[in-house]
């Protein structure tokens, strides 16, 4: 539970921490969209190198970024297995391209037949599984760096500022930002409370690790029920506290710290846009990848 990076903030004095939250949110959105346009391993390696450089600049321990991938290891493994064994068995030549060398092999690695059922593994499935695993890993590591370098309050202020134009159509921007802020603040508290409840149940000889998946799910009931009740009680207490302080929405409210774009924020946006455009050009073969090959 403590490996979940969402809602956690790592305090440090770095250029990434001092950036405007709106710039970081826009860069994170461009990053997540760009991931879906990557189709070569060279660009994947280049993206990992850029992300590693950003982690060094943020002064966030690399182990915290790597821990953010742990909760989705099952999803990564599941999608990889699906792509490995459910890719259509096409008996055609497959070209393995590693830097400047190419090998032409049979696409089918192995094949099993039983009546009308064909089952096997292909190089195309291996390629799809690897790319899907890399894509999911990058999709988790990038946004986790955003939450680790931005406080929940600052992050929600940035979201609210970016969504201001929606007020024209009477969209509740402030209320949505408030819900997001409360959610991000409560995630670490819920994780900590879950650990306390599980330790208390283990002290009463509860077993959460043995048995099949159904027994493990049944063993979690003594944890889920008190956690759900405590969450409702905390929400009710928060509602009473806001009401007693005369909270009435965004009307007439001001910010203690106004967000301001700086030169470094514009430069970061330009660099992120240039990198996204590079990925887009590589996706549609608008330039030769030999330049990137030589750099990697």
Q: Is the model's pLDDT at 98 over the cut of 80?
A: no
Indicate if the pLDDT at residue 234 is higher than 70: yes
Average pLDDT over residues 162-186: 81
Q: Provide the pLDDT confidence category of residue 273 given band limits of 50, 70 and 90.
A: very high
Mean pLDDT of the chain: 81
Q: What are phi and psi of 111, to 5 degrees?
A: -145, 135
Tens digits of residue pLDDT in 50-66: 999 999 999 988 888 88
What confidence score (pLDDT) does residue 220 get?
80
Looking at per-residue pLDDT, the higher value among 173 and 290 belongs to 173
Q: Domain limits of the chain?
A: 1-150+261-296, 152-259
The pLDDT confidence band at residue 90, using thresholds 50, 70 and 90, is confident
Q: Residues 244, 215: contact at Cβ < 8 Å?
A: no
């Amino acid at each position: 539970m403590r490996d979940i990076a969402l809602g956690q903030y790592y305090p440090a004095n770095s250029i990434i921490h001092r950036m405007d939250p709106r710039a970081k949110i826009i860069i994170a959105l461009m990053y997540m969209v760009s991931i879906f346009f990557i189709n070569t391993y060279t660009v994947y390696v280049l993206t990992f190198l850029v992300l590693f450089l950003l982690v060094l600049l943020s002064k966030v321990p690399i182990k915290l970024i790597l821990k953010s991938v742990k909760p989705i290891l099952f999803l990564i493994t599941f999608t990889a297995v699906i792509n490995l064994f459910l890719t259509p068995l096409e008996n055609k030549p497959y070209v393995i391209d590693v830097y400047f060398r190419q090998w032409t092999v049979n696409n089918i690695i192995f094949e099993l037949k039983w009546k009308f059922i064909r089952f096997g593994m292909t190089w195309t499935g291996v390629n799809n599984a690897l790319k899907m695993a890399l894509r999911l890993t990058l999709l988790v590591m990038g946004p986790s760096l955003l939450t680790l370098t931005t406080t929940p309050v600052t992050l929600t202020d940035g979201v609210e500022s970016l969504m201001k134009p929606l007020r024209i159509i009477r969209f509740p921007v402030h209320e949505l930002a408030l819900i997001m802020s409360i959610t991000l603040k409560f995630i670490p508290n819920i994780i900590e409370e879950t650990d306390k409840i599980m330790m208390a149940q283990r002290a009463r000889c509860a077993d959460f690790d043995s048995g099949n998946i159904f027994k493990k799910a049944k063993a979690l009931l003594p944890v889920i029920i008190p956690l759900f009740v405590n969450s409702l009680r905390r929400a009710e207490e928060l509602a009473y506290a806001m009401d007693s302080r005369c909270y009435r929405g965004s009307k007439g409210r001001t910010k203690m710290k106004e967000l301001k774009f700086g030169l470094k924020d514009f430069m970061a946006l330009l660099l992120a846009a240039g990198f996204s455009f590079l990925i887009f050009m590589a996706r549609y073969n608008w330039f030769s990848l030999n330049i990137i090959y030589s750099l990697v």
